[in-house]
Amino acid sequence: MLRAAGASSASAAGVASAAEAQERSASTPEQTASAPEPRPDNAARSADTRNRGPASARASAGRVAEDASAAPRRRDTRTEEAANAAETSRARRHSSRVGEAFPSLVGWTSLSTLLPGIGLLRTRFRPLGFILLGGFVLTFLVALVYVLIKGPIRAFGTVVSSPTMLTFLAIILAIIGVIWVLAIVISHLGLRKGHRYAPWQNKMAGVLVVSLALIVGIPLGVGSVYARVQGDTVSSLFGDSTGHAKSAEDLWADKPYINVFLMGRDNGDDREGTRPDTMLVASIDTKTGNTALISVPRNLAFPIFPEGSELAKSWPDGFRPTGQSSVDLINSVWQWGEENKDDIGNTHGLEPGMFTTMQAVEGSLGLNLDYWAAVDMAGFEDVVDAIGGVKIDVERPIPMGGGKSMSGVANDVYGWVDPGPQTLRGKDALWYVRSREGSDNYDRMCRQQRMIKTTLDQVDPRELATAYPKLANSATKNIATSIPQNEVPAFIELAISMQKGDVTTVQINNDVTPTYDPDFDVLHKWILDEVKGASEGEETPKPTNTAAPDEKKDTAEEEPTEEAPAEGAAAEETPAGEEGGEPTETTKPGEPNAEGKCYPKGFKPGDDFPGYPGPGAGDEG
């Protein structure tokens, strides 16, 4: 019994020791991990310890404890192996080899320039990347749907004619530019993390980021500035909106054509008073864009006014302040209106001179003027310079200066536009269309129409876009128009149609009706035929009324008494032909020859021009 009790006590002590060893093993895994592995014969030895004494029992308890700690050690080993595998995988992603990840860095950074936010998807800023990329795609889809619904031209016209939308667009473009550039930089820094690069790769990466930021930032910045400039230009240049923006089809649904009065005037410091320098009426077919460009001669005497108007009541027999056909001209109406404001009635917000001049053009041509635009000569120079000049074959020497002032003092010729093919810049182009020295009104009108048609054919949108801020600034100072803001989109559509259509030049000269004593019934009928023919794309009808020889002689004698007299030209009409040879065709005064060139009366191509010092004289002023 004593032995049994002793054995029982020893067994209990062994169990207690085993439990204590197990606790120690659980609390100190490092010690357990360093313990020796159990040998395979432990199980057999444990069976023998049951038949041995207390010492053997204690040894057996120790081996039991070792068996109990084996399972946690195996679990710790598996955890350590998993950690090592994860570290190996991470090492493969973030290679320790210098420069190995450079192609990936360049590719994803560049892709962030095309799709903002996509580079962030591979960094810890993934949620922000999804937001930016989603916003970009959503904005693109909304813009695409807007353009598809309204059409490209109408959508563009609606935006560029609304100061509110342009201001909003300027702000949005600036914000988008800043966010986009930041997304590129953050994407690049995030993609670099965990990699090592060679010094030359670091420099190339810096150049890449700066270049991509400029590629994105410059267009958006320029777009923001242009949007702001356009908004200010629309607000300053065009009248207040008269309703919602309309397309050309809706705005002019019941009008087969519209008539736009175009006037060029010279308000230079050397001018006394104001007289229209150039007057034209563009009668435009609203469906096809075909246009009749009608030049109104400055020397059209005794102009009449629309029936029922206040001016028609004041001048029932036409504008005759003096009764002299050499003084009571259509280009004198402006000055009279400015000096007799109380006699012209309601001007509907227009300058008195502009109102009376438009009334005279309406009554004399028999056309209702729907819109008007006035351009100062400085504005014309800016337009020509903005498109890089106009390529034209100058038919003869063109004097700069000359003529007489309103007080009758002769002006000096200070320079020349040389003949021959060349590109005329602003000042030379201006003198090409306005020079009157050694010429006549019809030749001058012919050159004006030729310049307008040539300029329209050569307009380059890229050059206009480059010079747009300067051009817009000039427009607000030198151009005035009655076109309201909400009708600008329709005019943009019409302008595109005009480029595709035909422009027919129409001259009012003595072969239509004597300009010193016009038959306005004949003139009205002829103008309507011209407008209809141009609208239908037909050949321009020939004049239906021919002045008698003595009438032409009287007209030639009277013209030099105008503000800009004709000097140095023969009194009798001489047919013009091919330059440098004998005349081969007969042309009417003010009409271009087969080459599209314009010549004054009495001048044959190849003749010496009075006063011309020879090629290379150029501008001496």
Q: Model's pTM, two decimal places?
A: 0.67
Q: Into how many domains does the chain fold?
A: 2
What is the 8-class DSSP label of residue 542?
P
> What is the pLDDT at residue 58?
52
User: What are the average pLDDT values for consecutive 10-residue runs of the chain, which has 621 residues?
Assistant: 44 47 46 45 46 50 54 63 57 55 88 89 90 92 91 86 91 94 92 87 92 93 92 86 83 91 71 69 92 89 93 93 91 91 86 93 94 84 84 92 72 90 91 88 86 79 70 80 90 86 85 91 93 69 38 38 35 35 46 80 83 72 43
- Whether residues 219 and 291 fall in one domain: no
Sign of CA dihedral 16, 17, 18, 22: positive
Cα 524 to Cα 194, 364, 430, 504, 528: the distances in Å are: 85, 8, 31, 18, 6
Q: Which two tokens stand for residue 476?
A: 């607000």
- Whether residues 206 and 319 fall in one domain: no
Positions of E strands within 508-583? none
Question: In this structure, is residue 385 part of a structural domain?
Answer: yes
Burial class of residue 134 (count of CB atoms within 10 Å of its CB; 0-12, 13-18, 19+): exposed
> What is the pLDDT at residue 364?
95
- Domain holding 124, by residue range, is 97-238
C-alpha span between 69 and 282 (Å, rounded): 104
> What is the pLDDT at residue 137?
92
Question: In this structure, is residue 1 part of a structural domain?
Answer: no
- Whether residues 283 and 228 fall in one domain: no
Sign of CA dihedral 230, 235, 240, 241: positive
C-alpha span between 534 and 537 (Å, rounded): 5
- Whether residues 126 and 184 fall in one domain: yes
Single residue among 503, 536, 569 that ends a domain in this structure: 536
Residue given tokens 């000055």 in the structure block: 335
CATH of the domain at 525: 3.40.630.190
- Whether residues 161 and 282 fall in one domain: no
Question: In this structure, is residue 545 part of a structural domain?
Answer: no
Across the beta sheet with 503-507, the strand order is 479-481, 371-376, 257-265, 276-285, 291-295, 503-507
Question: In this structure, is residue 459 part of a structural domain?
Answer: yes
Positions of E strands within 442-484? 479-481
- Whether residues 220 and 320 fall in one domain: no
Question: In this structure, is residue 516 part of a structural domain?
Answer: yes
Beta 420-424 vs 390-394: how paired, if at all? antiparallel
- Whether residues 216 and 290 fall in one domain: no
> What is the pLDDT at residue 13?
46
Question: In this structure, is residue 81 part of a structural domain?
Answer: no
- Whether residues 488 and 519 fall in one domain: yes
Give the torsion through C-alpha atoms of 403, 406, 407, 410, to 10 deg. Answer: -10
> What is the pLDDT at residue 431?
92
C-alpha span between 403 and 452 (Å, rounded): 23
Q: Which two tokens stand for residue 50?
A: 């049951």
C-alpha span between 501 and 235 (Å, rounded): 30
Question: In this structure, is residue 325 part of a structural domain?
Answer: yes
> What is the pLDDT at residue 345?
82
Question: In this structure, is residue 399 part of a structural domain?
Answer: yes
- Whether residues 202 and 270 fall in one domain: no
- Whether residues 397 and 484 fall in one domain: yes
> What is the pLDDT at residue 561?
36
- Whether residues 330 and 286 fall in one domain: yes
Angle at 316 between CA 314 and CA 317, to 5 degrees: 125
Burial class of residue 241 (count of CB atoms within 10 Å of its CB; 0-12, 13-18, 19+): middle
Q: Which two tokens stand for residue 403?
A: 């003529």
Residues 6+ apart with CB under 8 A from 567: 402, 403, 437, 438, 560
The DSSP-derived string for 481-522 is: E--BGGGHHHHHHHHHHHHHS-EEEEE--TTTS-TTS--HHH
- Whether residues 519 and 395 fall in one domain: yes
Cα 489 to Cα 147, 163, 224, 247, 291: the distances in Å are: 14, 13, 20, 6, 19
